[in-house]
C-alpha cells in the first residue's frame, strides 16, 4: 500500500500550495478552473499560472467547474450547459495529463428534492459517462447534502467503476449536515476514492486547518485509512502550512 504522503495533494486554492508540494513531495489538486470563465476568455493567463504551479510536481488531481451547474437541473437547457462545462473541464484535465477529476453533485436543498434529484442525476450520469475517456475517474463530491444517502445512492445506482465518491469533511460538518462525519465515511466507504480534508466550527464551511476546529481529524483519518486504504486526500485550505505541520506532528508524514 502506498504511504499517506504518496496519496496526499494540496489544493491550489492555497497560496503556498506549490511551495509545500515541492518541499513535502506531495501532489496538487488543480482548482484554478473551478471558476469556469478561466477556461474561456481568461484561459491564456490561467494556463500560464497553472503550468507554473505544476512545474516540478509529479502528480495531480483536477477540480472541475461547478458554479451554477447541475446535472439534475429542472431546466433542460441548464443540463445541456452543465454537460458542456463538464466536457470542457475533462478536456482541460486531459490537457494537463490529469485523469482523476472532482465534480460537485450540484444539489441545493429546498430547490431540489432527493426524490427528483437522485433519479435525474442517475439518468444524466448514465448517459454522460460513455462520453468520458475510459481512463478518467470522476469523483462526485458532497457539498450541501444533509446526509450521505443522496450521493451514495447516485453512485450506487449508476454502477460504473469510473464513477466514485469524494468526501469533503468540512462540507459534511456544517449546519446543513444531519449526520456526523464518521457516518458519512461509513456509508460512502465502498465507493470512496478521494477526500477533501479541512476543519470548521460545525456550522460554517471555513476551510480551516486540520487542527483548528471541532472535527477530531485523527479519528476521521484513522477510520478512512481502515476502510479505504487507497483513498487519496487533498488539503483544502487558503494556506496549507498549518495542516502540513499538523500531519507531521501526528505522524502521517
Cα separations in angstroms, 111 against 72, 74, 104, 148: 11, 10, 16, 18
Cα separations in angstroms, 6 against 116, 155, 192, 229: 39, 26, 17, 12
Cell of 45: 493567463
SS3 83: helix
* pLDDT tens digits, one per residue of 209-247: 999 999 999 999 999 999 999 999 999 999 999 999 999
Query: Taking a C-beta distance cutoff of 8 angstroms, is the pair 73, 79 a contact?
Result: yes
Strand partners, 100: 137
| CATH label of the domain that carries residue 11 | 3.20.20.150
In this prediction, residue 1 carries a pLDDT of: 66
**Structural domain containing residue 163:** 5-249
Output the average pLDDT for the chain.
98
> Which whole number is the average pLDDT over 35-41?
97
* pLDDT tens digits, one per residue of 52-97: 999 999 999 999 999 999 999 999 999 999 999 999 999 999 999 9
227: closest CA among 182, 197, 161? 182
Rounded to whole angstroms, the Cα distance separating 66 from 121 reads 15
Give the chain's domain count: 1
Amino acid at each position: 500500500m502506498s504511504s499517506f504522503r504518496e496519496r496526499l495533494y494540496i489544493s491550489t486554492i492555497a497560496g503556498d500550495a506549490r511551495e509545500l508540494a515541492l518541499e513535502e513531495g506531495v501532489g496538487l489538486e488543480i482548482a484554478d478552473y473551478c471558476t469556469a470563465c478561466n477556461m474561456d476568455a481568461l484561459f491564456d493567463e490561467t494556463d500560464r499560472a497553472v503550468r507554473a504551479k505544476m512545474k516540478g510536481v509529479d502528480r495531480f488531481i483536477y477540480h472541475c467547474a461547478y458554479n451554477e451547474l447541475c446535472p439534475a437541473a429542472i431546466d433542460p437547457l441548464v443540463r445541456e450547459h452543465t454537460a458542456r462545462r463538464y466536457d470542457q473541464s475533462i478536456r482541460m484535465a486531459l490537457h494537463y495529463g490529469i485523469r482523476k477529476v472532482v465534480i460537485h453533485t450540484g444539489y441545493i436543498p429546498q430547490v431540489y428534492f432527493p426524490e427528483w434529484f437522485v433519479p435525474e442525476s442517475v439518468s444524466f450520469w448514465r448517459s454522460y459517462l460513455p462520453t468520458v475517456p475510459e481512463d478518467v475517474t470522476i469523483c462526485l463530491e458532497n457539498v450541501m447534502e444533509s446526509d450521505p444517502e443522496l450521493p451514495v445512492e447516485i453512485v450506487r445506482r449508476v454502477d460504473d467503476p469510473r464513477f466514485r465518491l469524494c468526501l469533503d469533511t468540512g462540507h459534511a460538518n456544517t449546519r446543513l449536515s444531519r449526520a456526523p462525519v464518521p457516518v458519512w465515511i461509513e456509508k460512502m466507504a465502498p465507493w470512496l476514492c478521494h477526500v477533501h480534508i479541512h476543519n470548521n466550527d460545525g456550522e460554517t464551511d471555513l476551510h480551516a486547518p486540520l487542527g483548528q476546529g471541532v472535527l477530531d481529524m485523527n479519528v476521521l483519518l484513522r477510520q478512512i485509512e481502515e476502510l479505504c486504504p487507497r483513498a487519496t486526500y487533498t488539503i483544502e485550505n487558503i494556506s496549507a502550512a498549518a495542516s502540513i505541520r499538523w500531519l507531521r506532528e501526528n505522524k502521517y508524514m
